[in-house]
A = this chain, B = another copy of it.
Amino acid sequence: MQNIVSTGIENALLMRALRGEEVSRPPVWMMRQAGRYLPDYMKLRAKYSFFERVETPELATEITVMPVDQVGVDAAIIFSDILVIPQALDFEVTINPGEGPRLPRTVQTEADVDNIVVSDIEDRLHYVMDALRLTRSTLPADVPLIGFAGAPWTLLCYMVEGQGSKNFAKAKAFCFTQPKAGHKLLQKITDATILYLKAQMEAGANLLQLFDSWGGLLAPNDFMEFSLPYLKQIVEALKPHPMILFAKGCSHAYPEFTASGAAAIGVDWGVRPGEARKLAGNDITLQGNFDPSRLLGPIPEIERMTREMVEGFGTQKYIANLGHGILPNVPVDHAKAFIDTIKSFG
């Protein structure tokens, strides 16, 4: 029997849109909505290191709830990082402000993969689950809480390369020259991710998103070999929980995403709304895809382009969002103009 809280959640616009049910207007949230464009976030950032913020449930909760209160988004996404999975697999991650992440331990050979042990994921990442529980009890009962993880391919990129890269050529070379080792590593990451996402749902997440930030670095056939099968495994293992697949630069794979049973496809700003719908078909919800750089322009332009975007996607089976994470230098009232324009469709 469902309790009052989950009934409230299940009627939320976002949950309805994910099930393809009729909505009065599209729900809206923004990737990286709990981020550097918010002055209150910057205050916490000045006081606590990145991992202090991620690993202290009270801080993660405060940050997660912030954009719900301050810009009025319809859902919260837990403040965390995709690299907690490599951390839980004993790959240290350091993040210095202004630099990208660094992983001193990397994977270069099949033996390196064999040395990776998948165990106690839920225990290693207990602070995420603690933050989810605290956030769930802090958020209004009708505001969905989004859990997330990085896609196995994207995490492999970091675990092989040891840092960010323009083309992740080392990661690709690893998979192309040692495909057996590549697939073994992807499977281990997948196993860990499934445990992690199940724990997130148990701890209070209401839906999930997978981020395949570097899926577009793979040619279509290579994406089908090194990314898609693992995304499908994760979607399958988490059923019936709703999953949003966001794979940047991978519109070629939308038909497969629809067939996977995912609840929604996150569309990046490189794809026109009509084209995304054509590729994905009519049986899945789409999410996206405002170019975050466009939030730097004047507010009347933001309003006009936001309306154009909704007209392109339609108001049903649609979740309004950016096509990538919000930029640090976006003025808060510009972000609000985006949100308010979506709400004006109600």
Q: Could you say which residues of chain B place their CB within 8 Å of the CB of A42?
A: none
**A222 in contact (CB, < 8 A):** yes
B-chain residues with CB within 8 Å of residue A222 when the two chains form the complex: 291, 294
Is the pair B219, A298 in contact by a Cβ cutoff of 8 Å? no
Choice from B219, B269, B272, B297 contacting A270 with Cβ under 8 Å: B219
Cβ 8 A contact of A293, one of B172, B220, B275: B172
Sort chain A's interface into a size bin. 20 to 34
Q: Tell yes or no: A72 within 8 A of B by CB.
A: no
A residues 256-307 with Cβ under 8 Å of B? 269-272, 275, 291-294, 296-298, 301
B166:A166 contact, CB within 8 angstroms? yes
- Mask, A204-243, CB within 8 Å of B = 1, is 0000000000001001111000000000000000000000
Q: Tell whether, in the assembled complex, residue B220 and residue A270 are in contact, meaning their CB atoms are under 8 Å apart.
A: yes
Residues of B contacting A172 with CB < 8 Å? 291, 293, 296
B275 touches A252 (CB 8 A): yes
Report how far A252 CA is from B252 CA in the complex, Å.
Answer: 12
How many Å from the CB of A66 to the closest CB on chain B?
Answer: 23
How far is B298's CA from A164's CA once the two chains are assembled, in angstroms?
26
Indicate whether A216 sits within 8 Å of B291 (C-beta atoms), given known contacts A166-B166, A297-B177: no
A323, CB-defined interface residue at 8 Å: yes
> B176–A293 contact, CB under 8 A?
yes
Q: Which residues of B contact A329 (CB under 8 A)?
A: 169, 173
A249 at the A/B interface (Cβ < 8 Å)? yes
Q: Determine the distance from Cα of A271 to Cα of B291 in the docked complex, in whole angstroms.
A: 22
Given A173-B293, A173-B296, A219-B323, 18 further pairs, Cβ under 8 A: A164-B166, A169-B293, A172-B293, A173-B329, A176-B296, A176-B297, A176-B301, A177-B298, A216-B270, A219-B269, A219-B291, A219-B294, A221-B272, A222-B291, A249-B249, A249-B270, A252-B270, A252-B272
